[in-house]
Amino acid sequence: DAGITQSPRHKVTETGTPVTLRCHQTENHRYMYWYRQDPGHGLRLIHYSYGVKDTDKGEVSDGYSVSRSKTEDFLLTLESATSSQTSVYFCAISAGEGNSPLHFGNGTRLTVT
């Protein structure tokens, strides 16, 4: 799995609580991404990072924030979880721009009750 670890793998939380998901890579890749996967929607980009402390929004960024203080770690935070954020979250990494493929972690299944 290209040296990508997501934690936790499963989480159940209540509406209104903060949640942080962690992605850790050992590949020293520059780019890191957070996607969510929902039935009928495929994968949608939440946020991505192109370097330490350099992040940008994806197509479904509302309600999410990210931080990258080290090359190897990319954190996704739900400040106040809602039921609509119940999903499977995937982290991905990429070595560079242009024609670089993404390598994915195995996902975090988040349930907001």
Partner 1 sequence: SQQGEEDPQALSIQEGENATMNCSYKTSINNLQWYRQNSGRGLVHLILIRSNEREKHSGRLRVTLDTSKKSSSLLITASRAADTASYFCATANYGGATNKLIFGTGTLLAVQP
* Interacting residues toward partner 1 by CB under 8 A: 1, 4, 31, 33, 35, 40-45, 48, 50, 56, 58-59, 90, 92, 94, 96-107
What is the nearest approach in angstroms of partner 1 to the Cβ of residue 57?
A: 10
Q: Which is nearer to partner 1, 35 or 74 (CB)?
A: 35
What is the nearest approach in angstroms of partner 1 to the Cβ of residue 96?
A: 7
What is the nearest approach in angstroms of partner 1 to the Cβ of residue 31?
A: 5
How far, rounded to the nearest angstrom, does the alpha carbon of residue 11 sit from its chain's CA centroid? Answer: 14
Sign of CA dihedral 92, 93, 97, 99: negative
Q: Distance between CA 34 and CA 48 in Å, rounded?
A: 6
Closest CA to 1 of 28, 35, 22, 26: 26
